[in-house]
C-alpha cells in the first residue's frame, strides 16, 4: 500500500513537478532547503491544493484525480503546523478533546489517557493554554491531532519555531509517538537532526522536484548524503537507554555502552532509541587509553577509509554488534597511526558531544 502524488504546478518563478510514490507506513520525511517544494507537496497530500492536472492516492483510495477531490475531513488527515494553533479560551484538556468529541465512536483508535502518557503531559492537563511554553504548546497540538484518530498525520516543520533547548526537550516525545501511535506520518523539515532521529525513509526535494527517495539506513550509509552537507557525516546508532549513574545516562548497543549527558524521561528507560554522533567528534587510538577523562572508549574495526574534505579522511568503523560508526580525522593522523582495513582500534567520544 502506497501514497502516490503526481502533479505539475507552474508559478512565475517556480515550477513544482513531481511523480512519486512511497510506502504508506512509518515516518516519511520530506527534506530539502527552503523553497524546494516540501510544503507544496504536503498541501497536495492534505487536499489544501488541488490543481486540475494532479493525482493523489492513499492506499487503495483516490483522493484527487482531475476535478474529483476528496475534502480533507473525509481523508481523515490531521495536520500539525509550525505554530500550535490552540483554542485560547479552552483548557489543555478541552483542547485535546476538541477533535476527539467530533470523531465518531467507531473510528476512535487513540484515547485521552494513552495520548497524555505518550506525550508526557500529565502535569499540563489542567493548565490554561496561556500558561504553556512553546514546546508544551506543540505537544498539546500534536496530542489534539492524534485524538482525532487520523489515518495519516502531516507535520509541517513542527519544531522550527522552537529554541534549541525546546527542540531537545520535545524530540524524545516525538520519537515515542513514532513508535507507539501506529499512524503513518509525513514530516516536513530542513533539519538533518530531525530526519536522523525520526525518519524511516526520506524524500529529497530540490527546486520543485524530487531527486530521490531512499530509506534512512541507505542515505546514512553513503558519505555524500544531502543530510551531511552542513554539519558533515553523522552516525545514527540504534540502542536502548539505561538508567542514570553519576549524573550520566547509559545507552546500550549490544555489548557496548555509551554514556550520555542528556537528561531523559524515566518512561524511556529500556526502550529503543537513536543516538546521533558527528564523525568529527570521534577520535581514534591504537590502544585503549588509561587515566583519561573520556568516558566513551569503544573497540571498533576499520572497515574502509575514504577521502573526505581537503586534508581529511573518513573512517568507516564497525562496533562489536555490527553497527557502523564514522570518524573524520586528518590524513596525517591516518598515516601516523598506519590505519588500514581490518585493524582493531579504539573510538573515543566526549560525553559532552553526545548531548543530543
Q: What is the pTM of this model?
A: 0.88
Residues 224 and 241 in one domain: no
Residue ranges making up the domain that contains 260: 234-354
Same domain, 251 and 349: yes
Residues 52, 135 within the same domain: yes
Domain boundary among 228, 251, 273: 228
- Give the pLDDT confidence score for residue 263 in this predicted structure: 60
pLDDT score for 351: 87
Taking each helix axis from N to C end, the angle separating 92-100 and 112-119, rounded to the nearest 10 degrees, works out to: 130
Contact 38, 30 (CB under 8 A): yes
pLDDT at 266: 56
CA 239 to chain centre: 16
Rounded to the nearest 5°, which phi and psi values hold at 224?
-95, 20
Q: Which of 178, 204, 228 is the last residue of a domain?
A: 228
Torsion of CA 152, 157, 159, 162, to 10 degrees: -140
Same domain, 300 and 218: no
Same-domain status, 273 and 184: no
Note the pLDDT of residue 265: 56
Number of domains in the chain: 2
Whichever domain contains 46, its CATH number is 3.40.50.300
CA 281/CA 261 separation, integer angstroms: 15
Residue 198: predicted pLDDT: 92
Is 242 found in the same domain as 204? no
325-351 exposure pattern, b = at least 16 Cβ within 10 A, e = fewer: bbbbbeeeebeeeebeeeeebbbbbeb
Which residues share a beta bridge with 30? Answer: 188, 203
- What pLDDT does residue 180 have? 83
223 and 145 in one domain? Answer: yes
Residue 190, CA atoms < 13 Å, CB-side half-sphere: 14
Cell of 211: 531527486
- Give the neighbor-by-neighbor strand order of the sheet with 312-318: 282-285, 344-349, 296-307, 312-318, 324-330
Q: Classify residue 223 as exposed, middle or buried by CB count within 10 Å of its CB (0-12, 13-18, 19+).
A: middle
Boundary-marking domain end, from 177, 208, 228 = 228
Give the residues of the chain that fall short of pLDDT 50: none
- Are 154 and 251 in a shared domain? no
Per residue in 233-244, pLDDT (tens digit) is 999 999 998 888
Phi, psi (rounded to 5 degrees) for 279:
-60, -35
Residue 150 exposed, middle or buried by CB count within 10 Å (0-12, 13-18, 19+): buried
Amino acid at each position: 500500500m502506497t501514497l502516490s502524488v503526481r502533479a505539475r504546478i507552474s508559478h512565475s518563478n517556480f515550477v513544482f513537478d513531481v511523480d512519486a510514490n512511497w510506502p504508506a507506513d512509518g515516518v516519511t520525511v520530506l527534506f530539502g532547503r527552503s523553497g524546494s517544494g516540501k510544503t507544496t507537496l504536503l498541501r497536495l497530500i492534505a487536499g489544501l491544493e488541488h490543481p486540475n492536472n494532479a493525482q493523489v492516492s492513499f492506499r487503495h483510495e483516490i483522493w484527487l484525480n482531475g476535478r474529483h477531490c476528496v475534502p480533507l475531513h473525509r481523508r481523515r488527515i490531521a495536520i500539525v503546523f509550525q505554530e500550535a494553533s490552540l483554542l485560547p479560551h479552552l483548557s489543555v484538556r478541552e483542547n485535546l478533546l476538541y477533535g476527539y468529541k467530533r470523531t465518531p465512536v467507531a473510528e476512535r483508535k487513540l484515547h485521552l489517557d494513552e495520548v497524555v502518557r505518550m506525550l508526557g503531559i500529565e502535569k499540563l492537563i489542567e493548565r490554561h493554554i496561556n500558561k504553556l511554553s512553546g514546546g508544551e504548546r506543540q505537544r498539546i497540538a500534536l496530542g489534539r491531532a492524534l485524538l482525532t484518530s487520523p489515518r495519516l498525520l502531516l507535520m509541517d516543520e513542527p519544531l522550527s519555531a522552537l529554541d534549541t533547548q525546546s527542540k531537545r526537550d520535545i524530540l524524545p516525545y516525538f520519537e515515542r509517538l513514532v513508535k507507539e501511535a501506529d499512524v503513518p506520518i509525513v514530516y516536513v523539515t530542513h533539519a538533518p537532526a530531525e530526519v536522523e532521529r525520526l525518519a524511516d525513509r526520506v524524500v529529497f526535494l530540490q527546486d520543485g522536484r524530487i531527486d530521490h527517495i531512499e530509506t534512512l539506513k541507505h542515505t546514512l550509509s553513503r558519505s555524500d548524503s544531502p543530510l551531511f552537507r552542513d554539519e558533515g557525516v553523522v552516525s545514527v546508532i540504534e540502542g536502548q537507554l539505561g538508567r542514570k549513574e553519576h549524573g550520566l545516562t547509559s545507552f546500550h548497543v549490544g555489548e557496548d555502552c555509551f554514556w550520555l549527558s542528556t537528561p531523559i524521561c524515566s518512561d524511556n528507560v529500556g526502550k529503543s532509541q537513536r543516538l546521533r554522533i558527528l564523525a568529527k567528534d570521534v577520535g581514534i587510538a591504537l590502544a585503549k587509553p588509561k587515566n583519561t577523562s573520556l568516558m566513551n572508549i569503544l573497540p571498533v574495526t576499520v572497515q574502509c577509509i575514504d577521502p573526505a574534505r581537503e586534508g581529511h579522511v573518513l573512517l568507516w568503523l564497525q562496533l562489536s554488534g555490527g553497527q557502523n560508526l564514522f570518524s573524520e580525522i586528518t590524513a596525517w593522523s591516518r598515516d601516523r597511526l598506519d590505519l588500514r582495513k581490518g585493524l582493531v582500534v579504539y573510538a573515543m567520544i566526549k560525553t559532552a558531544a553526545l548531548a543530543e
